[in-house]
Amino acid sequence: MIHRILVVDDDLLICKQLEDLYRDRNYEVDTCGGADAAMALLEEFEYALAVVDLKMPGTDGISLTKEIRERWLDLDVIIVTGYASIKGAVEAIRHGASDYITKPFEREEILLATEKVLEKRRLLDEISYLRDQLSDRYSFANMVSRNRVMHDIFETIQSLAQNDATVLISGESGTGKELVARAVHFQGRRRGGRFVAINCAAFPDSLLESELFGFERGAFTGAVHDRVGKIEASSGGTLFLDEVESISLPMQLKLLRVLEQREIEKLGGNKVISVNMRIITATNRDLESMVASGEMREDFFYRINVVPIKLPPLRDRVEDIPLLAGEMLRNNTMARENNVTRVSNKALQQLMGYPWPGNIRELGNVIERAVLKTTGTVVRDVDLPNPSGGVGPTAVGPAAKRDLELPLKEYVKRAERDYLAALLKRHQGGISASAGHAMIDAATLHRKMKSHGLKREDFR
């Protein structure tokens, strides 16, 4: 790897001297005469080291060091100074410079200091590489975690491999419920069969019934062919009923027969079809309280709650944030193409201090946006919603003058989110009313809400 070094000195002679010296040693070098030019170059290129003169007209070396260390946390600075101002050099070290050398300098002296700093940097990169490697030890079926509760969940999933027990996955939005459902299927003995997922909230009752049970030709106007329902389609594999809390009481009763007897009848048909699958349900509500309030049948709840898996929210497993962020960078096409491999410690600290109401999905969105804005190989800044302002619908509003800094795609995405949030607010979270208003179908609305991390309950 060829390192790129930035030399900042108002003395052209020194610039030239250092440039020749570094070029001889096969470093890439840029030189400039002051802080403003330095900033412009730093924005544009990825440097391993900045060599900064202490005394310059305008911004001095100490202020420049401070600014560099604040904005480019991983960039090292060496200060160049005359004997008379060694005190200033020491001050610069207090502000984050790695070393200083005194003018006039010996070639060897400056090369040694340079190599020392770059070696330290190489070791830090190595540590972060090893840390990434380590993450393989913490991964299971596409899920990464070093959290104890999550590891218990991985074990539960493994213990389910040899049976067809019904599983209820609960957890806040974006905690990985669907991922767990897939893991249960693909680790289990039914992995040869299909994994059929249906989002129960995306359909009004009548449609949900025909989606699930299928229909025979002529069952209703418009039923021009027979159609296999999701339940039958999942036979031999796994049926995943997502957002199970939104299933109406009468439909719960119809599903009880599937749960108890593994039998269905198609709409408009009269023969009983035997089916055979694992059933997994997921919810972000507390179903026990729904049973207590009469919104869910008790018998239905007991049938689906055979093996409960409760996913912790991300704020209860902050130790996973660096691991997840690394994983997300590795899986991000743009990050891979642009060699963005790391999140700076400063940005990680920001991420670890945020409460993550949208959990891992929200983290994914934040990382994706940060990658869009990153110019070097390190993600140094992340944009987080202000937690005190609330992250729900109230925080949504015109992004004002920052808009013009966004790529068009991101701008459109934000505008869509704002629009949908306002719409849902107006219709108090009503899916069909909002979908009708927007002239899209409920399933599309649902998919869009999910991709923006908007939750119906926040608008009720």
Ligand X SMILES: Nc1ncnc2c1ncn2[C@@H]1O[C@H](COP(=O)(O)OP(=O)(O)OP(=O)(O)O)[C@@H](O)[C@H]1O
User: For residues 145 and 281, which CB has a smaller minimum distance to ligand X in the complex?
Assistant: 145
Residue 178 within binding range of Mg ion, rule CB under 5 A: yes
User: For residues 81 and 283, which CB has a smaller minimum distance to ligand X in the complex?
Assistant: 283
179 binds, among Mg ion, ligand X, none (CB under 5 to 8 A by kind): ligand X
380 binds, among Mg ion, ligand X, none (CB under 5 to 8 A by kind): none
Strand, coil or helix: 147? coil
User: For residues 12 and 149, which CB has a smaller minimum distance to ligand X in the complex?
Assistant: 149
Minimal distance, residue 198 CB to ligand X, in Å: 12
* Options 12-20, 95-103, 169-177, 342-350: segment touching Mg ion (CB under 5 A): 169-177
User: For residues 143 and 244, which CB has a smaller minimum distance to ligand X in the complex?
Assistant: 143
* Options 178-186, 189-197, 258-266, 295-303: segment touching Mg ion (CB under 5 A): 178-186
Site of interaction with ligand X (CB under 6 A): 143-145, 171, 173-179, 284, 324, 327, 360-361, 364, 450
Q: Which of residues 136-165 bind Mg ion (CB under 5 A)?
A: none
* Options 174-182, 286-294, 306-314, 356-364: segment touching Mg ion (CB under 5 A): 174-182
Minimal distance, residue 174 CB to ligand X, in Å: 5
Q: Which of residues 202-231 bind Mg ion (CB under 5 A)?
A: none
User: CA torsion 355→357→362→366, rounded to 10°?
Assistant: -40
* Options 132-140, 171-179, 372-380, 395-403: segment touching Mg ion (CB under 5 A): 171-179
Strand, coil or helix: 272? strand
CA 372 to chain centre: 13
User: For residues 30 and 327, which CB has a smaller minimum distance to ligand X in the complex?
Assistant: 327
- CB nearest ligand X: which residue? 176
Minimal distance, residue 379 CB to ligand X, in Å: 17
User: For residues 113 and 153, which CB has a smaller minimum distance to ligand X in the complex?
Assistant: 153
User: For residues 61 and 174, which CB has a smaller minimum distance to ligand X in the complex?
Assistant: 174
DSSP labels for 224-253? Answer: -S-EE-HHHHTTTSEEEEESGGGS-HHHHH
Residue 15 phi/psi, 5-degree rounding, is -55, -50
Q: CA-to-CA distance for 434 and 454, rounded, in angstroms? A: 13
Minimal distance, residue 360 CB to Mg ion, in Å: 11
Minimal distance, residue 204 CB to Mg ion, in Å: 20
User: What's the DSSP call for residue 28?
Assistant: E
User: For residues 193 and 453, which CB has a smaller minimum distance to Mg ion in the complex?
Assistant: 453
The letter for the amino acid at 399 is A
3-state secondary structure the chain: CCCEEEEECCCHHHHHHHHHHHHHCCCEEEEECCHHHHHHHHHHCCCCEEEEECCCCCCCHHHHHHHHHHHCCCCEEEEEEEHHHHHHHHHHHHCCCCEEEEECCCHHHHHHHHHHHHHHHHHHHHHHHHHHHHHHHHEECCEECCCHHHHHHHHHHHHCCCCCCCEEEECCCCCCHHHHHHHHHHHCCCCCCCEEEEEHHHCCHHHHHHHHHEECCCCCCCCCCCEECHHHHCCCCEEEEECHHHCCHHHHHHHHHHHHHCEEECECCCCEEECCCEEEEEECCCHHHHHHCCCCCHHHHHHHCCEEEECCCHHHCHHHHHHHHHHHHHHCHHHHHCCCCEECHHHHHHHHCCCCCCHHHHHHHHHHHHHHHCCCCEECCCCCCCHHHCCCHHHCCCCHHHHHHCCHHHHHHHHHHHHHHHHHHHCCCCHHHHHHHHCCCHHHHHHHHHHHCCCHHHHC
Minimal distance, residue 179 CB to Mg ion, in Å: 8
238 binds, among ligand X, Mg ion, none (CB under 5 to 8 A by kind): none
Minimal distance, residue 154 CB to ligand X, in Å: 10
- CB nearest Mg ion: which residue? 178
410 binds, among Mg ion, ligand X, none (CB under 5 to 8 A by kind): none
Minimal distance, residue 437 CB to ligand X, in Å: 22
Minimal distance, residue 212 CB to ligand X, in Å: 19
Minimal distance, residue 278 CB to ligand X, in Å: 17
230 binds, among Mg ion, ligand X, none (CB under 5 to 8 A by kind): none
81 binds, among ligand X, Mg ion, none (CB under 5 to 8 A by kind): none
User: For residues 229 and 364, which CB has a smaller minimum distance to ligand X in the complex?
Assistant: 364
Minimal distance, residue 140 CB to ligand X, in Å: 8
Q: CA-to-CA distance for 48 and 353, rounded, in angstroms? A: 29
Q: CA-to-CA distance for 352 and 350, rounded, in angstroms? A: 5
User: For residues 51 and 360, which CB has a smaller minimum distance to ligand X in the complex?
Assistant: 360
361 binds, among Mg ion, ligand X, none (CB under 5 to 8 A by kind): ligand X
User: For residues 9 and 242, which CB has a smaller minimum distance to Mg ion in the complex?
Assistant: 242
- Footprint of Mg ion on this chain (CB under 5 A)? 177-178
